[in-house]
Amino acid sequence: MDNLLWIFISALLINNFTLSYFLGLCPFLGVSGRLDTAFRLGLANIFVMLITGACAYVLNTWVLVYAPYLRLISFIIVIASTVQFVEMALKKLSPELFKALGIFLPLITTNCAILGLALFTTNKGYGFVEGMVYALGAGGGVTLALVLLAGIREETKLLDIPDVVKGTALHLIIAGILSMAFMGFAGLFST
């Protein structure tokens, strides 16, 4: 149980995919303009990561043992089909969210955080339960990063900010500060 908790905390905070590994920066910077949209995209990311983690385990355990050279392409196909499924479900169940996410929903397909999850899970040799906990922690970490940046971006709209740092420059500065703040968790949980 302690091992599962450590895997979750590590993926969520210490080794946050977005703020430590710099994976998934496109949606991180692109969709984090509104808090509700960022949160919903984060939930979609968690869902896709859980499905990808399960499929990566099954593929790696029973299929890729015989053809390890197909690992990368297999993971890409699984991710693309999972995102297509999420896109169709959102279009049917929540058209307003589908419109709000716009181009960024198909970008989950090329989100390197999700591919990184499949590769990291198999490289670390996680079993099914460990892989699911890792996927949940990693998805939660991406969601946390999206929501934090979205909340800060909404607050900065109310401030008088010099023109030199408005827009993307300010967002990158905030992302850098968030990244440094998350590095502090490594020292907190190092014992």
Question: Where exactly are the structural domains of the chain?
Answer: 30-151, 160-191
Q: What is the pLDDT of residues 58-86, one digit of tens each?
A: 999 998 888 888 889 999 888 888 778 87
Contacts of 124 (CB under 8 A, 6+ apart): 134
Q: Residue 133: how many CB atoms within 10 A of its CB?
A: 21
Cα distance between residue 113 and residue 82, in whole Å: 14
Q: Residue 31: how many CB atoms within 10 A of its CB?
A: 24
Q: Which residue has the tokens 């939660």?
A: 140
Q: Two tokens at 152?
A: 């800060």
Cα distance between residue 163 and residue 166, in whole Å: 5
Q: What is the pLDDT of residues 128-179, one digit of tens each?
A: 999 999 999 999 999 999 999 999 988 888 888 888 888 888 888 888 999 9
Residue 38 identity (one-letter amino acid): A
